[in-house]
Amino acid sequence: MEPNPTAALDAVEREVLAQIAPTAALLARVADVRERLVTAATTAAAARKSPLVRALVAGSAARGTFLTDRFDFDLFLLFPTTLDRAGLEAEGMAIGRAILTSPETRYAQHPYLRGRYEEFSVEAVPGYAVADGAHPLTAVDRTPFHQAWLSERYTPDLVAQVRLTKQFLRGLGVYGSEAKTGGFSGYLVELLVLKFGGFRGLLEAARAWSIPTKLTHDPRSNPRVPDDVALVVDDPVDPARNVSTALTRRNLALFLLAADHYLRFPDADAFRPRPLVPMARQDGVERAQVRGTHVTVLRLPRPALVDDILYPQLHKAERAVATEAERLGFSVLGTASAAAPDELVVLLEVGHRSLPAVQVRMGPSVGLARADDFLAKWTQQGAPVLQGPHLTYDGRLSVETLRAERQVETLLSEAWSRLPVGKDLRAGDAPSIRPLSEASDSPALLEALPSLFAKRLPWLAR
């Protein structure tokens, strides 16, 4: 008798939902804290005669779509649109400090607070009470409209399906829109689950997607789309906005493969995150020896930046180093990067540490006006020519010279000042650039090495 794939999927999903669903006591506790947070913010605003229009808790804690072991409260403090930006920030931060313990200032489009309210983590974010979610003054002004739009459409079953989807994405390591992750935001997950009727409906649909994929709620929508977009999902509250801008192509591709694999081979392990297993420097050295490759380590002091500003610059530096190495003539096999509290690390794996001593410089074809200039340059007295000028098989002039520098570390050190890295990385000290065999262990290095030498699809690595 053939196995029933639907029954297997049902059994796995029931098992996972039983593990991740919040208890009735926790749901009641979250509802109580949500109400008291709003009351506390309103009371604090009245005490300082603040022009607060409305305080609300939105997001997963408001809709019950949170994962039990991963959630906090998002408290939005909305002010009249007549209040200037400086006043918005000052009033929002003052109210947040009045109600939160251990408040820390964070930065996104404008400052906000992260602190504690009893045993829970809370982010208090100021914004404007706009009349239309399609015309926000700050990035958070759409939030009340998102809350209303989703709440009108939810059923208890859909709430459970959102939790299931989030846990599946967590298992893949692609849940979260922060720059470090580049994955699916909670709001994006909720829109996709609603659009396709549940977790399994989303996975079935994803089997047919390519990259990029465009999904719209409003056929007239035309959201702003960056060149490297992976997925387009228009915001039903603001059709000109793409909700999935943070999602990388790599992470969408991983989700598409995982969706197909799970539907064919359902397994509760698909919902279990894989913890990062650090790799010691000596293990990396030995792997490079087995592979016959060379690894270069770039180390920079970490600038005082929040993650959402730091990681785009770190990834940009990683791409710039690889591009420069390729331009210089190295065979680039892979890159990786990581950030620790005190340093940044970029790893570059190339086929060989040194370029050949001889460098071939190609000139124009015979018969072009530039041929005389090329000959004049390379036949003048003292020209550093090893051989040539001579003609190649296709009639082009060529000359061979001796490279002054050949090692990848030296060449990258010379090139660093002109590489297109982030301004905050440029403003700091130049990086230390050394072979992996000469580098010292550090938390950032131990985190980056698995990304270079332990690459494997998650369900194959279990």
| pLDDT tens-place string over residues 335-376 | 999 999 999 999 999 999 999 999 899 988 887 778 888 998
Do residues 366 and 391 make contact, with C-beta atoms less than 8 angstroms apart? yes
User: Which pTM does this prediction carry?
Assistant: 0.88
Q: State the span(s) of the chain assigned CATH 1.10.1410.30.
A: 156-271
Mean pLDDT, range 118-137, rounded to an integer: 91
pLDDT at 291 > cutoff 70: yes
Do residues 295 and 321 make contact, with C-beta atoms less than 8 angstroms apart? no
Least confidently predicted of 149-158, 220-229, 240-249, 310-319: 220-229
Q: Please, which pLDDT band fits residue 2 given cuts at 50, 70 and 90?
A: very low
CATH number, domain 5-150: 3.30.460.10
Q: State the span(s) of the chain assigned CATH 3.30.70.590.
A: 281-354+406-460
Measured between alpha carbons, how far is residue 384 from residues 341, 362, 378, 402 in Å? 47, 15, 8, 7
Looking at domain 281-354+406-460, its CATH class is alpha beta
In our burial notation (b when 16+ CB lie closer than 10 A, e otherwise), range 289-310 reads eeeebbbbbbbbebbebeeeeb
Q: Please, which pLDDT band fits residue 426 given cuts at 50, 70 and 90?
A: confident
Q: Which residues are registered as beta bridge partners of 122?
A: 73, 115
How would CATH label the architecture of 156-271? Orthogonal Bundle (1.10)
* Pairing mode, strands 358-365 and 396-402: antiparallel
d(CA 69, CA 86) in angstroms, rounded, equals: 36
Q: State the span(s) of the chain assigned CATH 3.30.460.10.
A: 5-150
